[in-house]
Structure 1
Amino acid sequence: MIKRILFLSYYYTPDLGPGAFRNTALVESILKEIHEDTILDVMTTMPNRYQSFNDEVPAHVNSGSLRLHRFAVPQHTNGFWKQIKSFLSYRKQVLQATKATHYDLVFASSSKLFTAYLAFQIAKKRRLPLYIDLRDLFAENIRELIKWPFIAYPLSWILKIFFEKPCLKYATHINVNSEGFLKSLDYIKHERISFFPNGIDDLFLNIPPSQEVQSNIKIVCYAGNIGEGQGLDKIIPPLAQKLGSGFLFYIIGAGNTKQKLIDALNNLNIKNVKLISPVKRAELMQYYQQSHYLFLHLNDFEAFRKVLPSKLFEYGAMDKPILAGVAGYAKEFIEKHIQSNYFVFEPCDWKSAYHYLVNDHYQVMTRPTFIAKFRRETISDQMAKSILFYLPKN
């Protein structure tokens, strides 16, 4: 008898971002473990995260045990309400595609709770085991991402009580990609929770040692989303202005606060920040190699003290110094695992970042222990086995 796994991930290759990278690798690991008697139904979206990046890919792939469905959804540029509109389109198409199909296990990888809740509805209705890969604490984040408290706090409470808790309490198993989430999940039995974080993709393994960057100008590179969560408009303009022409910032990415960043740069007449649209990872690697420092920043929100930015794994695989404006669990992780050639400062504290950059005795340094421990393929293989443990044997 054929077994079927329903795999829900809003993002998937060739889309950019941690969700796409993580779940593409996880699908590959699951396919290595299953046989011809098991079908993996992956339901995702066509590339939609960034308007400037939109590779053409087939809507459906049927290969071996893989059934891949990419649904077209509206572009959302990471705006909150537009994301909801896009997700509702995804939800409608998933429900239509799954209504006549029997499944044995439901999996969902979710950062904003929507995908996890959709999986919960499907699994509960059919009384199926549910495995959730929890990549963010959306109900907590919303309190700080929405600037009107009279909306943010009631909405956060509603999401927590009526969506997050029922979903996670029903789940057979929950994986967290940050151990900082555990305190928020104290109502879940410990044995139902695992920790498989993000990891280092093959592209970032076996990188040759950095050559000396032939430039009198020090280059600081940031790559990733430009949204409220990153707070770049709070840190980059004053830092770039104070550092002056001896430093150049590459800001690679897009997001719903990019215009806010542009306005702040223009107001200060800053010329040493170069904004670059999202690029494929092979090209991104070239920017990293041209740079002296790799920059990471999270906004000064309490909820973000629990997250573990996926960018740390990319940066940690390089031999460049890491400049990280993070606190809480991310700071602990850097100190414990990255260990060398980094500087951590409090979010939005541009003065500390400035003093480090002007006084740093620049050096490059490989991190072989970190690379060996956090290879994406190894982590995905382990997580695939964890998921398949819940696939009924008969």
Structure 2
Amino acid sequence: MKRVLIISQHFYPEIGSHANRIKHLFLQLKKKKYDVTVFTAEPSYPNKKIYSNADFWDDESLNRENNIMRINISSRKYSNSIINRLLYYIEIALKLIFLIIKDKKRYDYIFVTSPPIFTGLVGLFAKYRYKTKLVLDIRDLWPESLKGVEVFNYPIILKFFGTLEKTLYKKSDKIVINSLGFQDHIQNKAGILKSKIIFIPNGAVEEEIALKNREKNDTKKIIYAGNLGLAQNTLLINQLVPLLDEQGIHLTIIGYGVNKKQLIHSIKDYKNVTIINPVTRKEVFKIISEHDLGLVTLKEKDVFKTVLPGKIIDYMTCGVPIVGVVDGYAKEMIEKERVGIVSNTPDPKKIVSIIKTLLEDKKLCKEMSERAQQVILKNFNWDVNINKLVEYMK
């Protein structure tokens, strides 16, 4: 039986696409009869206290798992300060390295996921410590995304991070990407062959694909589910709320992230908004499925043209048509698969017009809903896509 060590800052029971991706990877490799160990941090995203709620620990098989090793971290929640967050990342990386030094096992493969890039460096350390092969999972381009959020402007440090990024690409034995938009950047940055890269997107397992049986009534409901962070256009959501209110359209936000508090404060007087604190993935899917449309936004920066936000996959899994304010790869995917409509401008009035068009065309929405779940089964199915990694590991 081959042994795999997964190194990830986030893991079950944390919310968010990072933890969910690694949870699925762990379970899929176990199903394929690999001996899998996880080195991770204790759950803390978006803050530690929510995981005192037993509802988040809803997978008994994982609760009983002996091969999940967690490090303690001193920070209790994510900081708005980039400097503080970098220190937080460094603390986790150093403690993971110490865990690796103490570990006496041997592994056939190290699977490490980045960003943060410091976790990637832990994986590189592990490659040489265990004298084995390194699979590098890239979920976001870093430090490119750091430049995109425009809150960290230290050219010398960014150049240093860029050198680390290039080193990771070169030294890894295989690179896994969750967005095809990353492929050209990685090849050009490190001068590597396309054959070194495997595309395994975020996805769902078949039992997560909900049949949308909600009876239609006169309520018009749109949802935003996910991170309200530095990359997402939360200002646009703020601008949309009064316009949606005028049209009698209800917005549900299941959100977390550094901009959540500010957004909630700015829209607190509107009656057409429901704010829901973070809940389990199962509950999120249930709530999403009760809505007519799903909203996704990203800021207008080149680096964000390469990403495929996890909430797009979640909306499609639930059979909910997408209203997108995105560009690049995400826009191409939504339009190619005909699972929603993308605005070519962040103009709130244009976006409300798209929302109204979709809400009034029940036939089109039904077609988009059915097509979305078919696309998930075909292209974003963990049970199928894991075979790309297993084929390499053979």
Could you tell me which runs of 5 or more consecutive residues in structure 2 were left unpaired when the two chains were aligned.
Answer: none
C-alpha spacing 1:217/1:322, structure 2 compared with 1 (3 Å): same
Match of 2:213 in 1: 210
Q: Residues of 1 paired with 2:242 and 2:361: CA distance?
A: 21
**328 and 144 in structure 1: CA distance in 2 versus 1, 3 angstrom threshold:** same
1:362 maps to 361
1:56-75 CA distance string (max 9 Å, x none): 669x9775xx6211222233
Deviation, 1:127, is 4.1
- Asked if residue 116 in structure 1 is aligned to residue 110 in structure 2, the reply is no
Given that 1:75 and 1:86 are in contact with CA atoms closer than 8 Å, whether structure 2 keeps it comes out as no
Amino acid at match of 1:181: F
CA contact (8 A) 1:196 1:379 kept: no
Does the residue aligned with 2:78 lie in a helix, a strand or coil?
coil
Q: 2:343 maps to which residue?
A: 345
- Residues 214 and 290 of structure 2 are in contact (CA less than 8 Å); yes or no, is this contact kept in structure 1? no
Partner of 1:237: 238
Runs of 5+ consecutive residues of structure 1 not aligned to the other structure = 390-394
Out of 40, 44, 61, the residue aligned to residue 44 of structure 1 is 40
Deviation at 1:378, TM superposition (A): 2.1
Aligned to 1:167: 168
The SS at the match of 2:50 is coil
Aligned residue for 1:282? Answer: 282
**Corresponding residue of 2:204:** 200
Deviation, 1:195, is 0.7
Query: Partners in 1 of 2:100 and 2:152 — Cα distance?
Result: 38
| 1:378 aligned residue | 383
* Structure 1: distance between partners of 2:121 and 2:289: 40
The TM-score normalised by the length of structure 2 is 0.86
What is the SS of the residue equivalent to 1:209?
coil
Cα distance in structure 2, aligned partners of 1:272 and 1:282: 25
Identity %: 24
Tell which has more relative contact order, 1 or 2 (C-alpha 8 A, sep 6+): 1
Tell me how many residue pairs correspond in the alignment: 372
Question: How many Å apart are 1:112 and its aligned residue?
Answer: 2.4
1:178-214 Cα distance to aligned partner (Å, 9 max, x none): 1101121122221111111111234432x23332343
Q: Is 2:92 aligned against 1:94?
A: no
SS in 1 for 2:213: coil
Residues 228, 257 of structure 1: 8 Å contact kept: yes
- C-alpha displacement of 1:142: 1.1
SS of residue in 1 equivalent to 2:227: coil
In structure 1, the residue matched to 2:67 is: 67
1:53 aligns with 2:50: yes
Q: Structure 1 counterpart of 2:114, which letter? A: S
Question: What's the C-alpha RMSD, in Å, of the aligned pairs?
Answer: 2.5
What is the alpha-carbon distance in structure 2 between the residues aligned to residue 27 and residue 209 of structure 1? 28
Cα gap change, 1:242/1:375 in structure 2, threshold over 3 Å: closer, same or farther? Answer: closer
Cα separation, partners in 2 of 1:22 and 1:386, compared to 1, 3 Å: farther
1:333 and 2:338 aligned: no
Aligned counterparts of 1:204 and 1:355: Cα–Cα separation in 2: 31
Structure 2 CA distance for partners of 1:114 and 1:202, relative to 1, 3 Å: farther
Q: Does 1:191 align with 2:191?
A: no
CA distance in 2, matches of 1:320, 1:241: 23
Map of 1:180 onto structure 2: 181
1:231·1:297 contact (CA, 8 Å) conserved in 2?
A: yes
- Of the structure 1 ranges 321-330 and 194-203, higher mean CA displacement relative to structure 2 is found in 194-203
Normalised TM-score (structure 1):
0.86
Q: Deviations over 1:225-251 (max 9, x none)?
A: 11011122x211211112225012111
Task: Name whichever structure is richer in helix by fraction.
Answer: 2
CA shift in 2, pair 1:347/1:25, >3 Å? farther
For residues 92-114 of structure 1, the C-alpha deviation after alignment (integer angstroms, 9 at most, x for no partner) is 33222221424432110223222
Q: How does 1:143-158 map to 2 (within 5 A)?
A: 143-147=147-151, 149=153, 151=154, 153-158=155-160
How far apart, in 2, do the equivalents of 1:43 and 1:254 lie?
Answer: 25
